[in-house]
Amino acid sequence: MPHIDFKNDFPGIRSAMAYRPETAEPMGVLAELLLRDDEGMSRADRELIGTYVSHLNDCFYCNYSHGAIACIYLGGDEELVNQVREDFTKAAISEKLKSLLNIARKVQQSGKAVLAEDIADAKTAGASDRDIHDTVLIAAAFCMFNRYVDGLATVTPTDMSSYPKRAMQIVENGYGSHVFKNKQPA
């Protein structure tokens, strides 16, 4: 049961956002800018970083919501999403993305855990300054989103078939207040 009365029955972060639309608005804008951008890293890469950090933070709702979005961008390759969760070093992804997931893993622990050698490895693998910046900020943003979702004990849907439907809403319409203003996908 949620820690506070959201006065709605939306799932996960949507219930907290609907409860306080004023703070939801900039969070939606931030997610849109960081996750739906193709400069340097693809949308799939960005969602995989969000999925992996949510997995490490043990935030089921965010992990499976963003995993489902990544899966759509990857043409339905759920196996790849699972490989990233389980052991990204063995996943069929570029060396660059592996080095960025390593940085995200450190950020999840603590900002201080990111070492100069982690950055050097990413640069050797072809990551730009902007890629490194975005990776750190995406990982840090998920450390916020995950805590928001679980810190208020929002409701986690148990029907796994609902995740791809909400994911498709994001793929089609992006992040923003429509996720709690429009009817939830059946």
Partner 1 sequence: MPYIPLEDHLPGITGLLEYRKDTAAPIRELTQILLRGESTLTEGERELIATIVSHRNSCRFCTAAHTAAADILLGETESTAQVKADHHSAPLSEKMKCLLTIAAQTQESGKAVTTQAVQEAKDAGATDLEIHDTVLIAALFCLYNRYVDGLATVAPSDPGFYEGLGKRLKDNGYNRLPQGYDHLKK
Nearer to partner 1, 47 or 72 (CB): 47
Interface residue with partner 1 among 11, 12, 34, 88 (CB under 8 A) is: 34
Residue 75: CB minimum distance to partner 1, A: 28
Residue 125 in contact with partner 1, rule: CB under 8 A:
no
Rounded CA-CA distance 26/48 in Å is 22
Other C-beta atoms within 10 Å of 138: how many?
26
Residue 169's identity, in one-letter code, is Q
Interface residue with partner 1 among 27, 44, 48, 93 (CB under 8 A) is: 27
CB 45 within 8 A of CB 54: no
Residue 112 in contact with partner 1, rule: CB under 8 A:
yes
Interface residue with partner 1 among 116, 117, 160, 172 (CB under 8 A) is: 116
Residue 178 in contact with partner 1, rule: CB under 8 A:
no
Distances in whole angstroms, Cα of residue 26 to Cα of each of 32, 173, 176, 180: 10, 16, 9, 14
Residue 18: CB minimum distance to partner 1, A: 12
Residue 134: CB minimum distance to partner 1, A: 8
Residue 117 in contact with partner 1, rule: CB under 8 A:
no
Rounded CA-CA distance 155/61 in Å is 8
Nearer to partner 1, 26 or 75 (CB): 26
Residue 26: CB minimum distance to partner 1, A: 4
Residue 65 in contact with partner 1, rule: CB under 8 A:
no
Contacts for 13-22: CB closer than 8 Å, 24+ residues apart: 13/61, 13/62, 13/145, 13/148, 13/149, 13/154, 14/179, 14/180, 14/184, 15/154, 15/155, 15/180, 16/148, 16/149, 16/152, 16/154, 17/177, 17/179, 17/180, 18/180, 18/181, 21/177, 21/180
> Given the rule CB under 8 A, which residues bind partner 1?
3-5, 16, 19-20, 22-23, 25-27, 29-30, 33-34, 57-59, 103, 106-107, 110-112, 114, 116, 119, 129-130, 132-133, 136-137, 139-141, 143-153
